Amino acid sequence: MNPTANATRTGYSTADDIARNLSLVRDEIANTAAKIDARQVADLAGLLSQPGSVFIAGAGRSGLVLRMAGMRLMHLGLTVHIAGDTTTPAIRAGDLLLVASGSGTTSGVVKSAETAAKAGARIAAFTTNANSPLAALADALVIIPAAQKTDHGSSVSRQYSGSLFEQVLFLATEAVFQSLWDNVDEPAEQLWLRHANLE
């Protein structure tokens, strides 16, 4: 039996604690998002506007954010595949790999980018590290100026382990979707017809 499994927690969160931390998270997201180079994001959106399938690869929470982005891109009518799913085909020349890694060194993500590059596919990447192996492989690179998940003493963020990168990644991918949608003549009702109906 785990001796800590039934341990009583000594602390609890008050409404003041929650309000303070809502402000902390909101302010960190706003400050970091304001530092993103919109031209970098526009270059990435431009790659998504080109013909070809979109493949998505990410690990952990960054990967979950990209899966949400993939769903939105599917709603726009793009053909989207998630790396690792059993029905995902081979990536080919003319396709796009969309990846994210805070450090830019996540082994599976970098390996996916290397494979895509060898196949002649384009690569769009989000990272904090402009000097990383992932950044070097990218045709379109968006730098999110957040702390890396192992930078526990960072002055960039008081949040835990990469949270700020993942939060701002979500915001950036939502802005990409919204911008792409602004430039197509399809109402929300039309996009909704593509939504999953086998839930």
The pLDDT tens digits of the residues spanning 6-24 come to 556 667 789 999 999 999 9
Checking DSSP bridges between strand 140-143 and strand 122-127, what pairing results, if any?
Answer: parallel
Judge whether 162 and 149 are in contact, CB under 8 Å.
Answer: yes
Judge whether 128 and 168 are in contact, CB under 8 Å.
Answer: no
- Indicate whether 174 pLDDT > 70: yes
Burial class (CB in 10 A: 0-12, 13-18, 19+), 161: middle
Identify which of 34, 148, 145 has the alpha carbon closest to the alpha carbon of residue 101. 148
- The mean pLDDT of 64-88, rounded to a whole number, is 97
| Pick among 3.40.50.300, 3.40.50.10490, 3.40.1350.10, 3.30.70.60: CATH of 19-192 | 3.40.50.10490
- CA 105, CA 124: separation in Å to the nearest integer? 15
- The mean pLDDT of 61-82, rounded to a whole number, is 97
Evaluate if pTM is beyond 0.75.
Answer: yes
* Active site amino acids: 166
Judge whether 48 and 77 are in contact, CB under 8 Å.
Answer: no
For the chain, which residues make up each domain, given as ranges?
19-192
Judge whether 66 and 182 are in contact, CB under 8 Å.
Answer: no
- pLDDT one-digit tens code per residue, 138-169: 999 999 999 766 665 666 787 877 899 999 99
**Type of residue numbered 135:** A
* Angle of CA points 16, 171, 140, to nearest 5°: 150
Longest dimension (CA), the chain: 60
